[in-house]
Structure 1
Amino acid sequence: MLKVLKKVNGLVLASAMTIGLTNVAFAHDFWLYSNDYNPNLAKLGASTKIYFGWGHGFPIDDPLSKDKVEELYIKNAKGKTIIEPKQASGVFVDKIVLKEQGSYVVGGIMQGGILSYTLDDKGDKVKHIGKGKKDGLKNLVSSTFYQKFAKAIINVGDSKDDVFSQPIGHTFEIIPLDNPKDLKQNDFISIKVVHNSKPVSGADVYATYAGFSKSGDFSYATHTNKEGIAKVRLSTLGHWMIKSNIQIEPTKEQKKDFDEISYSATINFEVY
C-alpha cells in the first residue's frame, strides 16, 4: 500500500467538505469528456463523441493538441481498441460507434514531462518546462516530473458487466466500484485510487460537476482510507469529474534529474 509523500500545498482534509474548493492541482487538469455517456443502441450501433478536457474550467476549457496525448483507447469486455484522435479546435477527438451493449472505459494518457522553477537575479520564480537538474539550471528551487491520466465511463444499453470497475493499467488510476448508471442524485459513489495497481492511502480526492465553476473550483473533497477507497456524494444530476493527485519520491537515479514525481488522474461520467 502506497502512502502519499505529502499533502498537496499542505492542505489537510479531515473530513468530506461540500464547499467551493480552489483547484490545488499541479498546473492544468486533463480529462476526457463525452457528449453522451449513455448512448442508445440502434441498428448501426451507439454513437458518442469524446473530447479532450484541458485547463481548469470543467467541462470545456483550453485547447489541447492531440500530439500531447501519448495514448487514447476504449476498452470493453472483448478487449482494448486504440483510438486515433482527430484535431478540431484543439478539443475534439472523434465520433466513436459502439457496436455492443455493455460498459466501456475510454482511457487517455498525457505525455509526461519535467517542470522546474529557478530564481532570477531579482529573486522571482522562473518556470522551465521540459528542463530538469541535468540541464544545469542555476538557482534551482524545485524540479518535478509530472504525468496525467484520464478515464470516462460509457454505458450502452442495460450493461451488466464489470468492465467499469476493472483497472486499465494506468500508472495512477481512479477505479469506480459502482457503475454510475445505477446511481441517482445524492447517492455516494465509491472509488479506489491505485498507483501501479496498489491502493493509495491518504490520497486527496476532489469532485465537481458541469456548471459548478469555470475557474477550477471543486464542489466536494475527501481522501482515501487505508484500502485506497473514498466515497463521493453526487449532489446533483449531470456530468461529473472526480480527480486525485499524489506526489511520490523518485528513485535514487531519478533524483539526478528531478526532486519529486507528481501524478494526477481523473474519471468522468454522468448521473441521470
Structure 2
Amino acid sequence: MRKLKFSPGVRSLALSLIALLLPVGAFGHSLYIQSGRHFVSSGKGTPLFFCYGHHIPVDDPVRREKLAWVKVFPPDGTSREIALRDGKSLHSYVILYEIPGTWVLAAETTPGFFTMWYDQKNRKRHSIKPMSTVADKASKVETSVRSSQWTKTYVTCERPSAKFPAHIGLPLEIVPARDVYGLKLNDKLEFQAYMDGKPYTGDGFYDATYNGFSPHAEDLYIPRTPVTGGKFEVDLAAAGRWYIRFFTKTDPPENLRSEFLKEKRTSTLVFELPGERKRPKADDH
C-alpha cells in the first residue's frame, strides 16, 4: 500500500484541527491513587496504581514526569517515597503492609499548563505551556490555567489505627470527618477541604462517584456542585470504591499574571465501603 506523505504545513494544520475538536475537558485529567485492596492482613503485599483521566476506575497511563512524588505513610508516623519508573503506565508498585493500622498512600503532580489562544489570523490554538510562551504570537488568549493536583487513599491493615490519619498535610486535601473503616451503607460522610494546613473557607467545587455507577466520562453520582466554606457531605448510597474530588479556581499571584489567568488546584480521595456479601462464600476455589 502506498504511504501518503504530508508537508509540515499540512501536518501542522491537521494538528490544529484536532485541537479544535478536542473538548477543553480532555486537558483537565484528574489523578486518583488506588490500592489493589483497601483491607489487608499483616505481611500482605498489594499494589497501588492510578486512575488518570475522566473514566472511573482506570483511564489513561501517567507519564513519569507528571508525578512529582508518590509516598506511603505507615501507621507509625513515618513516610516513604516510592522510586518511580520511567515511561507511561499506571505506575503500579507493590506495597508491603507489615504494621497493623491505617496506612495512607498519596501523590502529587508536577504543575501543568493549558492555554487556549487565537493567532494573528484568528485561528484557535492550544498550548500546554504558560501564556507567556505565546504572547508574541497571540491576538487574544481565551483561557490559560496552571493546574496542580494531590491525591490520597486509605488502606487498613488488620485493624484501624487508634487515631485516624484524616489529615496528612497535603497543600490541598480532602479530610473526612471520621474513620472510613467503620462506614456503612447509606451513611452520610462529611468532608472538609484543607489548604496549606488549615481548613479552607473559600469557594470551590466537589463531585463524587463510586465504581460501577457509570462507564461514561465525567458521568458522576454527584455531579459538580459548588460549595462555600470547603465543607460538603456525601451520601454513601452504594458499597464499593468511592472517588471524591474537590477543586478551586483562583486568580494567580501578582508576579505570575503573565504566565496564566487562573490557578486550578485539585484534591482527590479514594476509599472503599465494604458492604455486605451478596453470595455465600464457597468452600473452595
Q: TM-score range by the shorter chain?
A: 0.7 to 0.9
Structure-2 residue corresponding to 1:183: 183
Shift of 1:240: 0.8
Q: Larger radius of gyration, structure 1 or 2?
A: 2
Structure-2 residue corresponding to 1:147: 148
Deviation digits for residues 184-203 of structure 1, max 9, x if unmatched? 11111121112212313332
Contact 1:70 1:111 survives alignment (8 Å) = yes
Structure-1 residue corresponding to 2:160: 159
Shift of 1:134: 5.0
Structure-1 residue corresponding to 2:242: 240
Contact 1:203 1:246 survives alignment (8 Å) = yes
Q: Which is worse superposed, 210-219 or 88-97?
A: 88-97
Shift of 1:177: 1.8
Counterparts in 2 of 1:161 and 1:26: CA distance versus 1, 3 Å: farther
Gaps of 5+ in 1: 1-22
Q: 1:1-272 residue pairs with structure 2 within 5 A? A: 27-41=28-42, 45-78=43-76, 79-86=78-85, 90-120=89-119, 123-136=122-135, 137-139=137-139, 140-166=141-167, 168-198=168-198, 199-214=200-215, 215-221=217-223, 222-226=225-229, 228-272=230-274
Contact 1:77 1:163 survives alignment (8 Å) = no
Length, aligned pairs only: 245
Q: TM-score scaled by structure 2?
A: 0.79
Give the Cα separation in 1 of the matches to 2:236 and 2:123.
Answer: 42
Q: Which is worse superposed, 206-215 or 233-242?
A: 206-215
Give the Cα separation in 1 of the matches to 2:151 and 2:132.
Answer: 28
Counterparts in 2 of 1:184 and 1:256: CA distance versus 1, 3 Å: same
- Higher normalized helix content (fraction of residues): 2
Q: Which is worse superposed, 171-180 or 244-253?
A: 171-180
Deviation digits for residues 174-233 of structure 1, max 9, x if unmatched? 11222221101111112111221231333211101111122121101445453x321111
Q: TM-score scaled by structure 1?
A: 0.82
Contact 1:26 1:262 survives alignment (8 Å) = no
